[in-house]
Structure 1
C-alpha cells in the first residue's frame, strides 16, 4: 500500500496473515482508477523492480514500455526516484536491460537467457522480406549474420488451430528463404542452459555451411 500524506499512517489491516508495507508518496504520484487510489505507472514500476528478481523486473519494464505506459524519458528518471532505496543497485541494472520491443514476458525471458548464455540476439522483431520486399515473417529474436531467428511460442497466442496453421506456413516461407527457425516455450526458459545451447548449436551450424 502506498498512499499520500497522512492517509499512509492511518491505514490498517486486521488480518494477521497479511504483512502491510506502508510508504508515503507525494500527492502528484497518486491518481484514481475507477475510484481506487493508485500510484502512477512510473512509481508503480519503480516499486516493482525494487522488489522483484531480474527476469520478472525486466519483464515488467519491457511490458510497460511496449504498452506505452512508460516512455524512455520516464525510464531515465527512475534511478533518481529509487536512489537510496533497498534494492536500488540491482534495479538500476534491470533498467539498462529493458527493451520495449519485447511483446511478452516469454520473449523477455528468452532474450535474457540468450544474454546470460553469451549468445545475445542482434535484433528483436526482425522483419524478414524476400527480394521483392514481401514480408515473409517477423522473428521475435534474430541473429542476422547467421540467418537465424527464434520464436517465443506463448500458449495463448499460438494454441488455436488457425494460429498453428499460420505459424507452419510462415515457418515454411522462412525456411525456404534460407532462414533457420528455432521455437521456445515458457518451460524452456526455466532451464538456464537449454536456450543458449540450442542457439549456439544453430549458430555453429550456420558458420559451417
Structure 2
C-alpha cells in the first residue's frame, strides 16, 4: 500500500475513502486489488478500513470504524445514536451494528445502503469532537439510543457511562428535555433514567440487574458484607437482605492461577453461606433464559424464608 495513504488512514483511526486514495494516486481498481489482497476491508461504497484494525476489532469497535470510514467522506457529518455510543467507547447490547447513523445537511431523514442521515441538532453543546470526529455527546447519544431501541438497550450504555463518570444523570435528563420528547419516546427515557445504576461494572451486571427487576426483585448493587471478623466480600447484588446474586462473566478457571481463583471463590462463598446468605451464581447463558433465573431465585428466597421461620419457631 502507498505509504502516504497508509499514514493518512492511520491518522484517521484506520479508515480512508476512495477520494482520499485518489489524492495519493490509488485508483478504484487499485483499491479493489488492496481489498482482494487482504490489506483493506470495504465497509461501504467508497469507505474502507485497514484490514488489521478491522480484524482486531470487536463488533462495537467495528461499528465505530465503519462510522469513521463513512464520515471521512462526508464533511460536516455528526455521528448519532448507537454510532456515537460506539465512538465514545460505551457498550452496546441488543442493537443492530450494521447501520451508520449520522446527522447531516438534510431537512428530513434519508436512508440508503446501511446509512441513515437525519437533520442536524440545533441544541448548543449537543456535539463534541472528543472522539476525534464530530459526534453527539454521551448524554445525547444514550437518549437517542433509547428512543430508537428502547430503555433496555440504552440502559447498558448509560450504566457504563455513569460508572466511568463520563456523564451524570442530570446531563441525560437535560438532553432529553432539549430534544422535546413526548409519548412513548419520553416514557422509554423516563424508564431508562429510573433504572440507571452507576454501581454496575459490566454489561453482564447491568443485564442481571434488569432481569432481576423484571422478575420482581429489588436488588442492591455492589454491597459490602462483613462479619464479626471484618470485611468478607463485596457482592454484585443483594436481594431481600440474604440472597447474594453474583454474575460470573469469565468462567476461566484453567491452569494454576485459574484453580487458585476457583479455590478463593469457594472460600468466599463458604464464608458467605456461614453468615446465613444463599448464593446464586449466574453466567451469560442464564441471562438468555429468564425462567431458569426465576427458578433459582425462587428457590433461594424460599430457603431464606424457611430458615427464618425455623429460627423464629425455635
Residue 249 of structure 2 corresponds to residue 151 of structure 1: no
1:102 maps onto 2:200 in alignment:
yes
Matched, 1:139 2:274: no
Q: Which moved more, 1:198-207 or 1:22-31?
A: 22-31
Shift of 1:34: 5.5
Residues 142-178 of structure 1: CA deviation (Å, up to 9, x unaligned): 0253x210001112xx525154343223212212222
Aligned position for 2:114:
18
**Structure 1 match to 2:127:** 30
Gaps of 5+ in 1: none
Q: Deviations over 1:22-70 (max 9, x none)?
A: 2312463222236321221211121111222333211111111111011
- 2:243 pairs with 1:168: no
**Which sections of structure 2, spanning at least 5 residues, go unmatched?**
1-70, 72-76, 80-102, 308-314
TM-score after normalising by structure 2: 0.57
Structure with more contact order per residue of length (Cα contacts < 8 Å, sep ≥ 6)? 1
Change (3 A) 1:70 1:137: same
Aligned residues: 198
Q: What TM-score comes out, normalization by structure 1 length?
A: 0.82
Any runs of at least 4 consecutive aligned residues in structure 1 with deviations exceeding 6 A, and if so which?
Answer: none
Q: Name the CA distance, whole Å, in 2 between partners of 1:176 and 1:144.
A: 17
Q: Which is higher, the Rg of structure 1 or of structure 2?
A: 2
Q: Could you say which residue in structure 2 is the equivalent of 1:126?
A: 223
Deviation at 1:103, TM superposition (A): 1.1
The 3-state SS of whatever aligns with 1:125 is strand
